[in-house]
C-alpha cells in the first residue's frame, strides 16, 4: 500500500479515536502491516520532567529499551535535536541502541504538540537503506495527525 492510500487510513483512526493509547497502537499496527519494510513501529514520549524517553504503544517484538536517556541512541539524539534522523545502516552509527540483531536501518521523526518536542515515532527496518524523503514526509504526517488528539 502506498503512502497516499495510507494517509486517509491514519486520518480515520485519529478522527474516530476514543482512547489515545489504542489509537497510537492501531496506527503502529497499520503502518507495520502495510509497509513491507517497516518491521517495528513505535512511539516514545518524554517521561514527565525527566531527561529520558519512555516507550509508548508499538507494533513488533517487545524491546528491553523501555527507557532511553536523552542523547542516547537514535531516539535519544532526536529527543535533543528535534530533527528527523534517518539511519540507512545502523552498524555505521556509533550512538545506536540495538533492539534486535535483525535491524539494519532506522528512522525517527519528532512529534510536536504546540511546537514542543514531546516524543517521536520510531521505525526499525530489517532492510538496508530503505527510507526516502517520502517516508519522512509520511511519518511527519503521522506525527502531526496524532498530535492533534494529544
Interface ranges with ligand SME (CB under 6 A) = 40, 42, 63, 65, 68, 73-76, 96-97, 99, 106, 122, 124
| Residue whose CB is less far from ligand SME, 3 or 70 | 70
| Residue whose CB is less far from ligand SME, 18 or 92 | 92
In the complex, least distance from residue 125 CB atom to ligand SME, rounded to whole angstroms:
10
Nearest to 101 by CA among 31, 39, 19, 150: 39
In the complex, least distance from residue 49 CB atom to ligand SME, rounded to whole angstroms:
21
| Residue whose CB is less far from ligand SME, 96 or 138 | 96
In the complex, least distance from residue 68 CB atom to ligand SME, rounded to whole angstroms:
6
In the complex, residue closest to ligand SME by CB: 73
CB 61 within 8 A of CB 77: no
| Residue whose CB is less far from ligand SME, 17 or 63 | 63
Give Cα separations from 19 to 15, 57, 68, 146, 149 (angstroms): 11, 12, 25, 12, 10
Angle at the Cα of 107 from the Cα atoms of 101 and 112, rounded to 5 degrees = 135
In the complex, least distance from residue 12 CB atom to ligand SME, rounded to whole angstroms:
26
Q: Which element (helix H / strand E) includes 62? A: none
| Residue whose CB is less far from ligand SME, 14 or 99 | 99
Measure the CA–CA gap between 38 and 122, rounded to whole angstroms: 10
CA gyration radius for the chain? Answer: 14
**Three-state secondary structure call for residue 108:** strand
In the complex, least distance from residue 29 CB atom to ligand SME, rounded to whole angstroms:
15
Amino acid at each position: 500500500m502506498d503512502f497516499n492510500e495510507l494517509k486517509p487510513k491514519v486520518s480515520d483512526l485519529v478522527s474516530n479515536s476514543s482512547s489515545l493509547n489504542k489509537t497510537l497502537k492501531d496506527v503502529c499496527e497499520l503502518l507495520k502491516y502495510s509497509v513491507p519494510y517497516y518491521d517495528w513501529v513505535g512511539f516514545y514520549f518524554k517521561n514527565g520532567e525527566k531527561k529520558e524517553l519512555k516507550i509508548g504503544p508499538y507494533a513488533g517484538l517487545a524491546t528491553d529499551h523501555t527507557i532511553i536517556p536523552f542523547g542516547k541512541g537514535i531516539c535519544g539524539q532526536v529527543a535533543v535535536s528535534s530533527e528527523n534522523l534517518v539511519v540507512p545502516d545502523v552498524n555505521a552509527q556509533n550512538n545506536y541502541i540495538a533492539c534486535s540483531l535483525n535491524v539494519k536501518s532506522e528512522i525517527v521523526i519528532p512529534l510536536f504538540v504546540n511546537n514542543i518536542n514531546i516524543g517521536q515515532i520510531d521505525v526499525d527496518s530489517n532492510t538496508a537503506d530503505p527510507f526516502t524523503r517520502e517516508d519522512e514526509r509520511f511519518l511527519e504526517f503521522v506525527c502531526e495527525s496524532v498530535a492533534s488528539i494529544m
